[in-house]
With several copies, the nearest count.
Chain A
Amino acid sequence: MQRQYVEIKNLKQLTGRYYLLTLAAPLVARSVKPGQFVQLKVSAQLDPLLRRPFSIHDWCDAQGNVEILFQVRGKGTRLLADRKQGDYLDMLGPLGNGFSIPRAPGKALLIGGGIGAAPLWGLAKSLHARNWQVTVLLGGAGEQFLVRPEEFSRWGRTIITTDDGSRGISGRVTEALPLVAAQEFDQIYACGPKPMLAAIYDWARITGLPLQVSLDEVMACGMGVCLGCAHPVRKGKETVYAKVCSQGPVFDAREVVWHDQA
């Protein structure tokens, strides 16, 4: 973990609300794991006050680059989208644990809902590099909410769904699950809205296959000190709170308490 000012090498709008941000951050590019994230200070003013967490979408050690793919949601992401090439950003990271990739190559299913697919790009790339066979289910509310739909197939078979039917199969990403057979896979990874993750878990648990999910909780510090990002997890018979930032954001889906918030 480092705190540094990093230069914006490029910032481009991909779709109506998605932006791809390329940062010069060689130290992070060298050490990052897929699924880890960074905390960016989007403004020098006191409102918005806190840093904003963003998954690392991609990285290139040779060029010393790190990429963030983000959606404009509120004032912080709006400010970020208004930054210009050459600006510097105060970045803290890499943070969190990241996805774990079993040593022996096998078949992986990656399921991403909306902007939740952002970290799956780097994961797919890593899996691909380690000779895993990758299948991707990419869903979004509409076409403009799909993360790089053209390009994902670079890493493996890609099935696309949109809620409004503007592209691929019409319906939620979970409705495409019957198109793939869980037992074919050695490892499932998912990132997206919590109801989607819960539905995927319900489907995956039947087969007992390992599912890693990346959770999204509101964060203050991002580094395990404020205890603000608590999510209930099972620890033996007990339910305790895990820190999504430092003990996650990736969890074994079996540990997560899905249907109880207390």
Chain B
Amino acid sequence: MTRPDLTTHIGPLTLKNPVMTASGTFGYGLEFAPLLDLHALGAVVVKGLTLAPRRGNPPPRVVETASGLLNAIGLENPGVESFLKEILPQLEKYAVPVIVNISGNTLDEYALLAARLNDTAVSAVEVNISCPNVKQGGLVFGTVPEQAAEVVAAVRANTSLPVIVKLSPNVTDIVGIARSVAAAGADALSLINTLLGMAIDIKRRRPVLGNVFGGLSGPAVKPVAIRMVWQVSQAVDIPVIGMGGIVSTEDALEFIMAGATAVAVGTGNFINPQATVEIIKGLEEYCIKENIAKIDDLVGIAWKDGQNGK
């Protein structure tokens, strides 16, 4: 059999394969250069950027849970200017699409970030809407369909880059958010971001994390992520990038069959820093073994075949 076609389309963006990195778990990519060929990846999504530098939350910032990880990094990052000046030029050399994850606390911040990334070497923006809206008493943008849509519209109006919107799973109705965001002009959706969780240190009788709350990621959350990808991919017409607990080729296939056009490896990079490239190889081998010409043919096959699920 000829080599299977792993090409993937995320809106106007074409990736050579569907495997990307999840924001905040792959640094700026450069750190992985000694361990893998960055050029082999579908795309590199970098750590979330904000307009100004952020120092992040007080430690402890991470704690392991059963098959999961709680993190409260607090969006530590050098700010968009420093990224563009010092990091992006190095990353450009690897000729891999770079997607920048952006976070803000006001609509203006999102708009300014989007505008600033326009006309750079960046391939797309991923809008993290799991941030508190300081003008609305800290309510998280991504939990209210109208506010989520406003963020997306603000970004859309300020960039010609493909706009990927990253959804928060901490909502009653993920489909409602997804529809609202799609209608506001998103080119694609990423899901899921982390589940809000916490842990208590029974020795200190206090929360483990300096920030009290943290985001739960890793294999523990995969069933929730698969469910949301299944629901959302059937409800919207734009591609879904699936993530949440992917550590193996089998996990990636589950997401693809549930409806994800592409997948991202997050916490999995900490367990196996070569997980991304191993999964790309695994997907290729799977397609050969199962006689699948295009990986696209597998997208959503679990609901496309047979009767529609609930």
A–B contact with Cβ pairs below 8 Å: the answer is yes
User: For chain B residues 54-81, which have a beta carbon within 8 Å of chain A?
Assistant: 55-64, 66-69, 71, 73, 76
Contact for B69 among A220, A225, A261, CB less than 8 A: A220
Contact for A262 among B58, B218, B267, CB less than 8 A: B58
A50 touches B73 (CB 8 A): no
Binding site for B on A (CB under 8 A): 1-3, 41, 46-51, 90, 92, 217-232, 240-241, 246, 261-262
A41 touches B271 (CB 8 A): yes
Residues of A within 8 A of B26 (CB): 225
- What secondary structure prevails in chain A residues at the interface with B? loop
B62 touches A223 (CB 8 A): no
- Per the bound structure, the CA–CA distance linking A2 and B33 in Å amounts to 11
User: For chain B residues 160-195, which have a beta carbon within 8 Å of chain A?
Assistant: none
Task: Tell me whether A226 and B31 are in contact in the complex, defined as CB-CB below 8 angstroms, given that A49-B68, A92-B273, A261-B210 are known contacts.
Answer: no
B73 touches A228 (CB 8 A): yes
B56 touches A49 (CB 8 A): no
Least Cβ–Cβ distance between A259 and chain B, in angstroms? 14
Q: Does residue B145 face the partner (Cβ distance < 8 Å to A)?
A: no
Q: Does residue B228 face the partner (Cβ distance < 8 Å to A)?
A: no
Q: Mark B245-284, 1 if CB is under 8 A from A, else 0.
A: 0010000000000000000000101111110000000000
**24 A-B interface contacts by CB (under 8 A):** A3-B273, A41-B272, A46-B219, A49-B218, A50-B64, A51-B270, A218-B60, A218-B62, A218-B63, A220-B62, A221-B25, A221-B269, A223-B31, A224-B27, A224-B31, A225-B31, A225-B32, A226-B25, A226-B270, A227-B76, A228-B73, A229-B62, A232-B59, A240-B55
A230 touches B59 (CB 8 A): yes
Q: Mark B38-51, 1 if CB is under 8 A from A, else 0.
A: 00000000010000
Least Cβ–Cβ distance between A96 and chain B, in angstroms? 13
- Per the bound structure, the CA–CA distance linking A90 and B56 in Å amounts to 31
